[in-house]
Amino acid sequence: MKKTVRLGLAQINCTVGDLEGNSEKIISYIQKGREKGVDIISFPEMAITGYPPDDLLLKPGFIRDNMEALNLVARQCTDITAIVGFVDATKAPSPGKGEARGRLAYNAAAVIHNGKIKVVSHKIILPNYGVFDERRYFIAGSKCLVFELDDIIFGVNICEDIWHAEGPTGIQALKGKADLIININASPFHAGKHKERAHVLARRVAESGVAIAYTNLVGGQDELVFDGGSMIFDSSGKIVAGAPLFEEALLVADINLEKEAKQVDRNKGIDEELTISSSLLQGTLKPKKELLEPPLSKELKPLEEIYKALILGTRDYVLKSGFKKTIIGLSGGIDSALTAIIAVDALGADKVLGVAMPSRYSSQGSIDDARLIASNLGIEFSIISIEDIFKTFLSSLEPAFEGYEADVTEENLQARIRGTLLMALSNKFGSMVITTGNKSEMGVGYSTLYGDMAGGFSVLKDVPKTLVYELAELRNEMEGFDIIPRNSITKPPSAELRHEQVDQDSLPPYDVLDTILQEYIENELSINEIVALGYEKATVSQVLKMVDSNEYKRRQAAPGVKITPKAFGRDRRMPIVNKFRR
Amino acid sequence: MKKTVRLGLAQINCTVGDLEGNSEKIISYIQKGREKGVDIISFPEMAITGYPPDDLLLKPGFIRDNMEALNLVARQCTDITAIVGFVDATKAPSPGKGEARGRLAYNAAAVIHNGKIKVVSHKIILPNYGVFDERRYFIAGSKCLVFELDDIIFGVNICEDIWHAEGPTGIQALKGKADLIININASPFHAGKHKERAHVLARRVAESGVAIAYTNLVGGQDELVFDGGSMIFDSSGKIVAGAPLFEEALLVADINLEKEAKQVDRNKGIDEELTISSSLLQGTLKPKKELLEPPLSKELKPLEEIYKALILGTRDYVLKSGFKKTIIGLSGGIDSALTAIIAVDALGADKVLGVAMPSRYSSQGSIDDARLIASNLGIEFSIISIEDIFKTFLSSLEPAFEGYEADVTEENLQARIRGTLLMALSNKFGSMVITTGNKSEMGVGYSTLYGDMAGGFSVLKDVPKTLVYELAELRNEMEGFDIIPRNSITKPPSAELRHEQVDQDSLPPYDVLDTILQEYIENELSINEIVALGYEKATVSQVLKMVDSNEYKRRQAAPGVKITPKAFGRDRRMPIVNKFRR
Pick the residue from chain B with its C-alpha nearest to A125.
Answer: B99
CB-based contact B56 A575, cutoff 8 Å: yes
Quick check: A142 contacting B, CB < 8 Å?
A: no
User: pLDDT per residue over B245-291, tens digit each?
Assistant: 999 999 999 999 987 655 555 555 566 678 899 999 988 899 887 77
Contacts of B166 in chain A (CB under 8 A): 97-98
Q: Please answer whether residues A147 and A111 qualify as being in contact, where contact means their C-beta atoms are separated by less than 8 angstroms.
A: yes
Q: What is the pLDDT of residue B264?
A: 59
Q: What is the pLDDT of residues B521-541, one digit of tens each?
A: 999 999 999 999 999 999 999
**Nearest CA among B566, B2, B544, B535 for reference residue B258:** B2
Q: What is the mean pLDDT of chain A?
A: 94
Closest CA relative to residue A110, chosen from A119, A101, A98: A119
Identify the pLDDT of residue B581. 81
* Helices and strands (H and E) in chain B: how many: 17, 20
Cβ neighbours for B407, distance < 8 A, ≥ 6 positions apart: A427, A428
Q: SS3 for A419?
A: helix
CA angle B395-B398-B399, nearest 5°? 130
Within 10 A of B264 (CB to CB), how many other CB atoms are there? 17
Facing residue for B222 by CB, picked from A136, A416, A576: A576
Contact B569, B559 (CB under 8 A): yes
Which of B428, B433, B531 best tests the A interface by mutation, with the highest count of A CBs <10 A?
Answer: B428
- For A510, the 3-state DSSP assignment is helix
Q: Does residue A172 surpass a pLDDT of 60?
A: yes
Q: CB B400 to CB A423 under 8 A?
A: no
Q: Is the pLDDT of residue A429 over 70?
A: yes
Say what the pLDDT of residue A582 is. 64
Q: Is the pLDDT of residue A465 over 50?
A: yes
- pLDDT at site B94: 47
**CB distance B469 to B484 below 8 Å:** no
**A116 and chain B: CB distance < 8 Å anywhere?**
no
- Please answer whether residues A242 and A231 qualify as being in contact, where contact means their C-beta atoms are separated by less than 8 angstroms: yes
Q: Given an 8 Å threshold on Cβ–Cβ distance, is A529 in contact with B558? A: no
- For the cut 60, the answer to whether the pLDDT of residue A261 exceeds it is no
The one-letter amino acid at B137: Y
Contact A580 B413 (CB under 8 A): no
B301 contacts: CB under 8 Å, gap ≥ 6: none
Q: Which domains does chain A have, with CATH numbers?
A: 4-259 (3.60.110.10), 306-507+550-555 (3.40.50.620)
The amino acid at residue A304 is: E
CA distance B262 to B349: 55
Q: How far is CA B522 from CA A58, A101, B44, B429, B572, in A?
A: 10, 15, 28, 39, 9
d(CA B314, CA B320): 10
pLDDT score recorded for residue A95: 45
Name the DSSP class of B393.
H
* Contact at CB, B578 and A17, closer than 8 angstroms: yes
> Is the minimum CB–CB distance between B382 and chain A shorter than 8 Å?
yes
Nearest CA in chain A to B317: A577
More confident residue, A409 or B504: A409
Chain A partners of B160 at a C-beta cutoff of 8 Å? 98-99
The stretches of B445-521 forming alpha helices (DSSP H) are 465-479, 486-490, 510-517
Give A518's DSSP letter: I
d(CA A37, CA A292): 11
d(CA B256, CA B234): 8
Q: Which residues of A are catalytic?
A: 45, 123, 159
CB neighbours of residue A298 within 10 Å:
9
Phi, psi at residue A24, to the nearest 5°?
-60, -40
> pTM for the complete prediction?
0.96
Residue A96 pLDDT grade (very low, low, confident, very high; cuts 50, 70, 90) = very low
pLDDT at position A90: 86
Neighbours of B477 (CB within 10 A): 11
- pLDDT tens digits, one per residue of A236-249: 999 999 999 999 99
Q: Which of B14, B25, B45, B519 is catalytic?
A: B45
Interchain pair A578, B16: CB under 8 A: yes
| Top-confidence residue, A24 or B265 | A24
State which residue of chain B sits closest to A415, comparing Cα positions: B420
A53-64: average pLDDT: 95
Kind of pairing, strands A81-89 and A105-113? antiparallel
Least CA distance to A101: which residue of chain B? B129
| Contact across the interface for A579 and B17, Cβ inside 8 Å | yes
pLDDT band at residue A254 using 50, 70 and 90 as cut-offs: very high
The Cα B548–Cα B493 span in angstroms is 24
Q: What is the pLDDT along chain B (582 residues), one digit of tens a residue?
A: 678 999 999 999 999 999 999 999 999 999 999 999 999 999 999 999 999 999 999 999 999 999 999 999 999 999 999 999 999 998 755 444 444 556 779 999 999 999 999 999 999 999 999 999 999 999 999 999 999 999 999 999 999 999 999 999 999 999 999 999 999 999 999 999 999 999 999 999 999 999 999 999 999 999 999 999 999 999 999 999 999 999 999 999 999 998 765 555 555 556 667 889 999 998 889 988 777 888 888 889 999 999 999 999 999 999 999 999 999 999 999 999 999 999 999 999 999 999 999 999 999 999 999 999 999 999 999 999 999 999 999 999 999 999 999 999 999 999 999 999 999 999 999 999 999 999 999 999 999 999 999 999 999 999 999 999 999 999 999 999 999 999 999 999 999 999 988 998 889 999 999 999 999 999 999 999 999 999 999 999 999 999 999 999 999 999 999 999 999 999 999 999 999 986
Of B267 and A192, the one with more pLDDT:
A192
- Report d(CA A66, CA A60) in Å as an integer: 10
Q: What is the Cα Rg of chain A in Å?
A: 26
Looking at the complex, does the CB of residue B427 fall below 8 Å from at least one CB of chain A? yes
Please give the average per-residue pLDDT across A516-528, as a whole number. 95
Residues in A closer than 8 angstroms to B556, CB to CB, are 556-558
B242 lies within 8 A of chain A by CB: no
Q: Tell me if B133 and A133 make a contact (CB, 8 A cut-off).
A: yes
Q: Is A392 on the interface with B (CB under 8 A)?
A: yes
Q: Does B206 touch chain A (CB under 8 A)?
A: no
- Dihedral of the CA atoms A541, A544, A549, A550 (nearest 10)? 140
Residue A218 in this model has a pLDDT that exceeds 90: yes
Element (H, E) at B549: helix B537-549
Nearest alpha carbon to residue A496 among A356, A358, A368: A358
Q: What is the pLDDT of residue B265?
A: 56
d(CA B271, CA B460): 42
Closest chain A residue to the Cα of B140, Cα to Cα: A99
Three-state secondary structure call for residue B188: strand
Give the contacts of A460 (CB within 8 A, at least 6 positions apart).
A310, A335, A338, A339, A436, A437, A438, A439, A468, A560
Q: Band of the pLDDT at A36, cuts 50, 70, 90?
A: very high
ipTM of the complex: 0.95
